[in-house]
A = this chain, B = another copy of it.
């Protein structure tokens, strides 16, 4: 059976911007609407595919490249893929676009650093400020402003429900 390709909903943004929360809400919603859907998150991919990679620029570019490949293989088999990955570099977003074309829906979860840091769901900002970890995006690692996102969601102003609705309408 040849299936229609799925879409790749690529959630990018600072740690604490709400990528995981939104992916958690989005995947079941996509399934309820009759799609085959799954998520790829940075941590799962690092554990299984990328334990060799670091968090410097090269490591992050390679990680995003692998995620884009995996998303391509899934989406060409009809799966709607929700990617939750910081994706701090514009070069990665452009590579994903080149690979995925119209299948890609690039969604920037825009949330001020202060809000992300106050949320600090994994305690990483705390550790970075205490000098206990390096390469935290937003603190001592850059997050380049997305140049051509398909959608920008102010997750400090919108509810999760509103974000899900906007993504569904954009698909």
Contacts and interface: CB of A to CB of B under 8 A. Distances in A.
A149 to B, nearest CB: 24
- Mostly, the A contact residues are mixed
A76 interface: yes
Contacts of A77: 36, 38, 74, 77, 79
Interface string A57-71: 000001001100110
Interface size class on chain A is: 20 to 34
Contacts of A40: 73
Contacts of A1: 31, 34-37
A3 interface: yes
A42 interface: no
A34 B1 CA distance: 5
Interface of A: 1-3, 31, 34-38, 40, 48-49, 52, 62, 65-66, 69-70, 73-74, 76-79
Closest 4 CB pairs of A and B: A48-B69, A77-B79, A1-B34, A49-B66
